A and B are shown apart, each in its own frame.
Chain A
Amino acid sequence: MSDPGLDFATSFPVPMPDADTQPFWDGCERGELLIQRCGYCKKWLWQPRPICSGCQTPDPVWTRVSGAGFVASWTVLRPPSLPAFAQKLPYVLLLVELDEGVRLIGFLVDDAGGWLQTDGEAEGIHMGTRMSLRFYDQAGTILPSWTVAS
């Protein structure tokens, strides 16, 4: 389609980082979840940005966090989706609120970080469920994802 080098029938969407977001994706490659925190007012910031939205101090500091948090909301994705996701449906898409207060999108994965084809019922997903960070390798893209905290 419109993306050269990506086969529409089989390719997942891939992040296209720029200088403001590259450290986040580099962290994922190392198995680290990095969130920006203002060096001056200490506000946690998500999504990535070059200036603190709380106090306008430039260059928020990339800070490693545990990824622990809870389910702030969630949905189950069902057809139709992009062709590449067809074999993965249904699956749970999470909005996880980190203990630092910011919220991220993630997959629900198993304890080993493996794929879960599920509607979330067997895993007991509900609003407020405590979650632990995992990283899911989607065709080479390392994506922060979550499993139910043990």
Chain B
Amino acid sequence: MSRPAWAGRQRQAVVVGIHALPFSKNIGMTERHGGGLAILGALQDAGLSVADVDGMYRFVWEGTTEMEMARILGIENLRMFGEVDYGGGAGCPAVSHAALAIENGLADVVVVWRSRNRSSGGRPWVSQLQATGQDQFERPYGLVRPVDGMALHTRYWMHKYGWGPEVLGRVAITQRELARRNPAAVMQKPMTMDDYLGARMIADPLRLFDCCLETDGALAMVLTSAERTADLEVTPVYVTGFAMGSGPQCYGMTFYYDEVLGVTPAKYVAPELWKNTGLQPEDMDVVQFYDAFTPQIPVSFEEYGFCGEGEAPAYMLEGKNPPYNTSGGGLSEAYVHGFNLLLEGVRQVRGSSTTQAKDVQHSLVTSGNVVPTGAIVFSKEPW
């Protein structure tokens, strides 16, 4: 393994705090309320306080701006702040921006959070009847749900690679079993292949259990520099590297108009990630792949280079893959735009997952692969 090309950075960013409020169908508070509590929890986990915070990044889709959150919490001055767009693609990029701010000495303690009342607050796709931009060629046709766009991709992948429905069913069942080991997971009921195959279609070929949950959740992460951890009691989780990518002709959710069908922006993230980290897929001891829908798992194993194109079903069936989505993920733990995957990636390095992988040195987390996206590697040691 060679050292990353950018190892000459001044400082290394580390994750020192994580916190999630209990996932539920109705969290019983506003998103800003949940977000604020999650941030305070993550700061407490780190042994830091609001007075230490000087940077904040959020999802564009976060209903509470950094300024509103900073006002609520009473933060004196944000030296760095910003937002990353594109729904579930924003998680790793937002954390990456926080790490960049720290590595460059532009901020010392940076908060990233996601609070979303996706269950009690209703479905975001129901309220937009005036379709502008990209949407004007999609929404009038009823192509309004994320599952609709994903179904068009999935049909193509199933056709091209010869996937049967069991390829997707095994993902749903695997993650349900992982969720059942995690008391924080929303879904605790066992699932059989008959349960999976017997569930109703939502957008063919995607069935009910191919789809993520609709969850209220609030989660936060606190990052600082490795040098700052000298006076903290927490065990730091090192941000080894990250990458973002769009690929050509990238839309939000749909990217099938005039480019190669079936390729996602993650295909463009992967080589950057391995170059930036100096690592390879086989160095990953555990992975958290963005999973709004089951097909994202086999496609991610392929596009991030864990196996060749078209090989994922056999690769996974033979158990050659590292453990994935060990908390149950978006399919069975909670769906909060993948921020729970980021927390689980950190827990795996800390050694505190409910399905702890062995001897974790490097832990991969990715964000939504069918939108502009990113990925990040957390590590146990400085790398």
Contact = CB atoms under 8 A, between A and B. Distances in A.
Nearest to A95: B152
A95 B155 CA distance: 11
A82 interface: yes
Contacts of B131: 13-16
A53 B251 CA distance: 14
Given A13-B139, A143-B141, A72 B129 contact: no
Contact of B128 (A2, A73, A75, A107): A2
B261 interface: yes
Interface stretch (B85-93, B195-203, B374-382): B195-203
A6 interface: yes
Interface string B150-172: 01110110010000000000000
A67 interface: no
A40 interface: no
Contacts of A17: 136
B10 interface: no
A78 B200 contact: yes
Interface in A22-38: none
B2 interface: no
B177 interface: no
A12 to B, nearest CB: 6
Contacts of A150: none
Nearest to B258: A102
Contacts of A80: 123
B137 A15 contact: yes
A85 B201 CA distance: 17
Nearest to A127: B159
Interface in B64-115: none
Contacts of B202: 78
A8 B129 contact: yes
A93 B142 contact: yes
Interface string B113-142: 000000000010011111110111111111
B261 to A, nearest CB: 6
A100 to B, nearest CB: 10
A54 to B, nearest CB: 10
Nearest to B203: A75
A47 B134 contact: yes
Contacts of B143: 93, 105
B249 interface: yes
Given A14-B129, A16-B130, A76 B204 contact: yes
Given A8-B129, A13-B129, A18-B132, A73 B141 contact: no
Interface residues of A, number: 46
Given A14-B130, A15-B140, A82-B126, A119 B204 contact: yes
Contacts of B258: 44-46, 101-103
A101 to B, nearest CB: 7
Interface in B179-204: 200-204
A11 interface: yes
Nearest to B201: A78
Given A53-B249, A95-B256, A105-B138, A76 B203 contact: yes
Contacts of B130: 3, 6, 13-14, 16
B134 to A, nearest CB: 6
A147 B205 CA distance: 21
Q: Which of A11, A77, A91 has the most CB of B within 10 A?
A: A77
A16 B134 CA distance: 10
A74 interface: yes
A11 B130 CA distance: 10
B33 interface: no
Contact of B141 (A2, A44, A107): A107
Contacts of B148: 75, 77, 93
Interface of B: 123, 126-132, 134-145, 148, 151-153, 155-156, 159, 200-206, 249, 256-258, 261
15 contacts: A1-B126, A14-B130, A15-B137, A16-B132, A18-B132, A45-B258, A46-B257, A46-B258, A72-B156, A73-B156, A73-B256, A76-B201, A78-B202, A103-B256, A103-B261
Interface of A: 1-3, 6, 8, 11-18, 21, 44-47, 53, 72-78, 80-82, 85, 88, 91, 93, 95, 101-107, 119, 127, 138, 141, 143
Nearest first, the 10 closest Cβ-Cβ pairs linking A and B are A75-B151, A15-B136, A13-B139, A76-B204, A3-B129, A73-B152, A1-B127, A6-B129, A16-B132, A73-B156
